[in-house]
Structure 1
Amino acid sequence: MSVTDHDSTSKLDAHLVDPEGAHARVEQGALLVDVRRAVSRQNFGVVPGAEHVDKSEVDTRFADGDRSRPIVVFCGSVAGSGPVVEQLREFGYTDVVHIDGGFEAWKNSGLPTEELPAG
């Protein structure tokens, strides 16, 4: 791992929260954003109330948003959510975190999830 890679990883880790911390933020009004692909959502379930945003649409979906609103991002892993957190921070969002362990950690913590209907 190069120094640049390590710095990048440390930067992403600085914005990690555990599932319970993420849930507390959402309960206090943070926007919960699921950036997993549709197939992952269909196969593994969803978090009720989470807004699904395709990673390729982050720039357009958040171009005109309230940059002070807290946002919690999750994917299947931090490798998927971390770049989205950094992208939102580059857009000027000031309170953006992602879930350590992603959707699986949320689900394994006993927090609310549901299956999508087949089809």
Structure 2
Amino acid sequence: MSSNDASLISPAEAASATATLIDVRSEKSRIEFGTVAGAIVVDKAAVEAEFGAADRDRDEPIVVFCGSVQGSGPVVDELKGLGYTDVSHVDGGFPALKEHGVPTVD
């Protein structure tokens, strides 16, 4: 499976979405640049452990971001493979969200 452009959303769409935000950037990047307020931090290697539980709502909207779409795209594919139906990622990643003015925390 590979991520396609249909799963990409703009920073503005991400900012206005009522969705679970997932930050899959490295700890180093989060320490250096902060993260989006309210985002859940998930290690890319732990996506299945975090989201594979049988009791999770597979229709919940999820927006994934990384430093770029190359980092978030595989996570989108993995979540879709786990049965999630409303998964997208941010065109431009965290830098684009921050530039758009999405509230961040250190």
Shorter-normalised TM range: over 0.9
Identity, % of aligned positions: 54
Match status 1:55 vs 2:47: no
**Higher strand content, 1 or 2:** 2
Q: Specify the structure having the higher radius of gyration (Cα).
A: 1
Gaps of 5+ in 1: 1-6
2:36 is paired with a residue whose SS is coil
| Structure-1-length-normalised TM-score | 0.83
Dislocated runs of 4+, deviation >2 Å:
none
2:15 is paired with a residue whose SS is helix
Q: 1:74 touches 1:98 (CA, 8 Å); kept in 2? A: yes
1:107 & 1:73 partners in 2: Cα distance?
Answer: 14
Q: Which has the higher contact order (CA 8 A, sep 6+)?
A: 2
| Structure-2-length-normalised TM-score | 0.93
Amino acid at match of 2:49: T
Give the match for residue 40 of structure 1: 29
1:39 & 1:12 partners in 2: Cα distance?
Answer: 28
When the two chains are superposed, the root-mean-square deviation of aligned CA atoms in Å is 1.3
1:14 is paired with a residue whose SS is helix
Match status 1:68 vs 2:59: yes
Shift, 1:19, TM fit:
0.7
